Amino acid sequence: MQRRTFLLGTATGAALAALPVAAGPASAATAAGPATVGSLDELQAAIDRARPGQRIVVADGAYTVPPDRPLTIRGKRGTRHAPVTICARTPGGVVLDGAQSFVLEGSRHVTLSGFSFRQSSTLDIPPDCAHIRLTRNDFHLADVAGLHWVMVRADDSVVDHNHFHGKTTLGVYLGIEGAGEREMAQRVHVYRNHFSDHSFPGDNGGEPIRLGVSPRALSDAGAVVEYNLFERCDGDPEAISVKSSGNTVRHNTVRDSLGGIVLRHGNRNRVDGNYLIGGKEGVRIYGDDHVVVNNYLAGLSGRALVIGSGSTRDHGPDETPAARRGNDAPDRLLVAYNTLVNNQGTLSGESHRPHEPRDVTVADNLFVADAGQLVEMANTVRFTWSGNLLWGAAADGNMPAGGGVRKDPKLVKGRDGVLRPAADSPAVNAGTLRRPRVTHDIDGRPRGRTRDVGAHEYARWAPRRGPLTPADVGPQAR
């Protein structure tokens, strides 16, 4: 029987060694109650017996999973209200190393919670599973070049309250794909995770989140990526790389990172209420029918907001894989109620591809900077500009006359370092956009009928939301 391995040379190790541990299968509870296990053999046996509602608790310690005997979760069928839960006794207290940890096959409604994953291969959530939840885990896998740490390909999966950190090589922290070559997992929910410290020095391939790949770009995924914190994520210019359609990216904070939020492939995505502060890249857009609203981009050393150009007008279902990798020119975008302040580049376009953006509405945004040009678009077709507010020593650039006004927005810095309009700001009640409705601002305040320009509605009371901190995310957060 394999035994757990402890760090007995420390006070923590001594305390863990004193924990009561089940001696064998006879001590494991039935599905009606929790089962406590203290070895890999006991854990596998408890998994094999598990029924809906079973909770399996693993005693704290370090466990090395043999390469020929991964922990296999096969054919487990929990339910929405009675999942099969496998968890560490204390969050982070169970360290799993070796080639693999858990291998899932044909299972539903299974939760893995509180583990410290240190394996040297991808943790795969395959497409023959569904409703798999990874929660309150610590991911610091082997730092192997090209290794993607977690790959989710199962519908209705949830990844929440985890910490991904400490990669220096090529590979993504979290990938979301699907079955086959073109499908996407449906309705994946990624929230309250902490992504930090990816220092891969290459210029591509080190994304914290990659939501699809180019062959899957036209597939609707319906994923929601929200309330995640990204810090020092320098492995790729894209912290959240969207390469699929029909997703929502909202209320995330990207701080002090090379990467930004990039709609690289796909259509009909929504980027709403995100904070990007003190890094390099901001929001970059390709593809059709996207909505980019309520975002706050401040102190970025690169381009804050880019409405890109295309190597093709529109991607189609009959393209070759090589053709799909090209950039799709943006069409029918809404870019509204965003605040861009003190960035090296504010709003810009691209001229190095043949297809220009078309039919784009740029309305009720706040542009403030002291260097360069506030608007530096290349070729555009049928753009609608209205209600934008410009300020600072930067030149207005090539926004058409009537697309905005130059007035001091009278911004006031809050305790969280965010610049919001004062009561007498000309941004208050100056919005021009009536359709579509944008009901709330970045901080959760209702917009009302007469909306303010920029990401924030003025209010006398404290905001419901603001930039996330490490206390708001990860295994220890509420």
pLDDT digits (tens, 9 = 90+) for 242-257: 999 999 999 999 999 9
- Looking at residues 318-325, what average pLDDT do you find? 84
pLDDT at residue 9 in the model: 32
* Residue 296 dihedral angles phi and psi, to the nearest 5°: -120, 115
CA angle 303, 307, 310 (to 5 degrees): 120
pLDDT at residue 477 in the model: 97
Q: Which amino acid is at 439?
A: T
Say if residues 454 and 429 touch (Cβ distance below 8 Å). no
d(CA 327, CA 265): 7
Average pLDDT, the chain: 92
pLDDT at residue 212 in the model: 97
Per residue in 252-276, pLDDT (tens digit) is 999 999 999 999 999 999 999 999 9
d(CA 253, CA 255): 6
In the chain, which segments carry CATH 2.160.20.10?
Answer: 122-472
pLDDT at residue 32 in the model: 53
Write the DSSP symbol of residue 186.
Answer: S
Say if residues 115 and 139 touch (Cβ distance below 8 Å). no
Say if residues 97 and 67 touch (Cβ distance below 8 Å). no
Where is 15: in which H helix or E strand? Answer: helix 11-17
Per residue in 28-44, pLDDT (tens digit) is 444 557 999 999 999 99
pLDDT at 458 over 80: yes
Per residue in 360-404, pLDDT (tens digit) is 999 999 999 999 999 999 999 999 999 999 999 999 999 999 999
pLDDT at 1 over 80: no
Task: Work out the pLDDT band at 434, boundaries 50, 70, 90.
Answer: confident
Q: How many helices (H) and strands (E) does the chain have?
A: 3, 43
Task: Provide the token pair at 60.
Answer: 């704290």
Percentage of the residues of the chain whose pLDDT score is greater than 70: 93
CB atoms within 10 A of CB 433: 19
Global pTM reads 0.92
* Residue 460 dihedral angles phi and psi, to the nearest 5°: -80, -20
Task: Provide the token pair at 323.
Answer: 């053709």
d(CA 416, CA 413): 8
In sequence order, the 6+-apart residues with CB closer than 8 A to the CB of 126 are 104, 105, 153, 154
Say if residues 245 and 269 touch (Cβ distance below 8 Å). yes
Q: How far is Cα of residue 141 from the mean position of the Cα atoms in its chain? A: 19
Per residue in 181-200, pLDDT (tens digit) is 999 999 999 999 999 999 99
122-472 to CATH, choices 2.160.20.10, 1.20.1250.20, 3.10.310.30, 3.40.50.720: 2.160.20.10
Query: Cβ-count burial of 414 within 10 angstroms (0-12 exposed, 13-18 middle, 19+ buried)?
Result: middle
pLDDT at 21 over 50: no
CB atoms within 10 A of CB 156: 18
CB atoms within 10 A of CB 233: 32
Neighbour-count burial for 438-455, b at 16+ CB within 10 Å, e otherwise: bebbbbebebeeebbbbb
pLDDT at residue 383 in the model: 98
d(CA 422, CA 411): 6
Tell me which of 256 and 434 has the higher pLDDT. 256
Side-chain half-sphere CA neighbours of 38 within 13 A? 14
Percentage of the residues of the chain whose pLDDT score is greater than 90: 87
Helix/strand/coil (H, E, C) string of 263-299? Answer: EEECCCCEEECCEEECCCCCEEECCECCEEECCEEEC
pLDDT at 5 over 70: no
d(CA 148, CA 127): 17
d(CA 24, CA 382): 72
pLDDT at residue 332 in the model: 98
Lowest mean pLDDT of 39-48, 141-150, 310-319, name the range. Answer: 310-319
- Looking at residues 205-227, what average pLDDT do you find? 97
pLDDT at residue 138 in the model: 98
